[in-house]
Structures are given as structure tokens and as C-alpha cells.
Amino acid sequence: MTTPTIAVPDHIAVTLPPTARLRQALASAEVALPAGTQVFRAVRHPGAVIPPFVERTHRFGPPAPFAGADGRFARYWMYAAQDLTTALWESGFCTNDMTQPGTFYIPPDIAERGLIAIFTLNADIRVLDLDGTVLSKLGIYDQIQGEHAWCQWFGLHMLEVLAGMAGDAGPVGFRYPSRKHRSHLALAVQSDSLEAWRRQVDVQVTRFAELLEFAALRADANYAEPFAGGFSGD
């Protein structure tokens, strides 16, 4: 997917596994999310529940130079998680105030407009499982946990890997360790699979503020609204 005019930066290329090596490591890493599984996605507006396009990419890119003339990306990722708490932290619905160590909060705009989409799978859906063993074999555990620019190029390579596994029974994306909710897994679904995803799930969308979990978080002993002019941990 890279082109001669958009080369991987040298400082990233030196630790980025070639696509062929990714395919080798992931050849036996397909897992099925069984029918009935619930997947959670936290979004800021209804159009983002299953996004038809994006103008801003996040952890797994693609990098900004791949945006089209209209500012949109031809291919991208939809992010979710298999538990609500991971979805909240991964999406910034819960975050930390650097001026009050040991606390967390829900940003005001999230409290006002945040939405939780719950996808219930109507069929088994396959994904690639980037568990600790796969990441260790590839030697990229540290990079995938913290280097944003590196992850964006890695995500581009993952799109190439998935393109070679296309088909009705092929994996729709990959599961990976959450960076903001350690020891839990997050999910990235490639844009090319979103129509198939839409056909194979039931969707329920609820205002975050209406969930019992919202009130429980607000009542948590470590919850503290940030000081005026404070800094978030995102």
C-alpha cells in the first residue's frame, strides 16, 4: 500500500516487520468471536457508530499523508472492545488529570453527548489475534504499546495482510492489547469489512450518561473533576 512518494520513515522502518513476516506470524492466529458476543464502541456522534469515512485516523492510521484531496482516508479502522470499560478508556471517555495524580474523570462533552454502541454478533466473526506471543515473536511488543507514529505505519501493513485474506470467511480485523486499559483487549475492524460487519450485527445505541456504569464511575472514590485549566492524560 505504500508508494514511492510516501515511504516509511527510516526511524520507523528499522523496527517495522515486513508484511511477509507479519503473514508468517499471523498464519495461525485467526480466532472466532462467537455469535452472541457483545462488542462495545464509544463514540461522540451517531454517524461514527459504523463510520462511512474518517478524516482523522487514530492508533493504527493510516498516516496523515495517505488522506485524499478531500481529507478523507480510503481505508481506515473502526475501534471497539469486548468490554465496556476498555472501550471507555481507549476512546477517551475516561481519562486522567495530570494536575491531580491518582484521579480520573469523564470530560464534560462526553458526559453531555457521548454514545455507547453495543454490537451483538449474529454470526461467528473471525479476527487476527495479536496476543503477547505473536507480538514477542515479531519483536514489537514495546512499539505497539506506545509509539503512535510507528503504530500508524504498522496499521498500514496490517491492512495489506488482511487484503490477502479477503473473502466472506476471512478475518475482519485484529484484536490487540489495550494501551490505556492494560491486560485487556481492544479490536480494530478494517473499513473494507464494515459492510459485512453491519450485516452480521445487531446495534443498540445508548447515551453514555444513561448507563448505570456512568453513575458508578462518577461515584468512584478516585473520580475528581479537573481543575479549571488542568491537563488531561490523553
Q: List the domain boundaries for the chain.
A: 10-218
Q: How far apart are CA 171 and CA 202, in angstroms?
A: 19
Distances in whole angstroms, Cα of residue 66 to Cα of each of 70, 91, 119, 153, 162: 11, 23, 29, 11, 18
| Distant-in-sequence, close-in-space partners of 185: CB < 8 Å, separation ≥ 6 | 81, 82, 86, 175, 176, 177, 178
Residue 96 near residue 233, CB atoms below 8 Å: yes
What's the grid cell of residue 140?
514489537
19 grid coordinates: 508484511
What pLDDT does 3 receive? 41
Range 10-218 classified under CATH 3.30.1820:
no
d(CA 110, CA 165): 37
β pairing state of 185-190 and 173-177: antiparallel
Of 130, 126, 127, nearest to 25 by C-alpha is 130
Question: Is the separation of the CB atoms in 45 and 91 below 8 Å?
Answer: no
d(Cα 96, Cα 89) in Å, to the nearest integer?
10
Residuewise pLDDT in 10s, the chain (234 residues): 444 368 999 999 999 999 999 999 999 999 999 999 999 999 999 999 999 999 999 999 999 999 999 999 999 999 999 999 999 999 999 999 999 999 999 999 999 999 999 999 999 999 999 998 999 999 999 999 888 999 999 999 999 999 988 777 899 999 999 999 999 999 999 999 999 999 999 999 999 999 999 999 999 999 999 987 655 555
Instruction: Measure the CA dihedral 195/131/185/189, to 10°.
Output: -10
Angle 19-26/148-163 helices, nearest 10 degrees? Answer: 70
- Model pTM score: 0.92
pLDDT of residue 97: 92
Rounded to whole angstroms, the Cα distance separating 30 from 127 reads 6
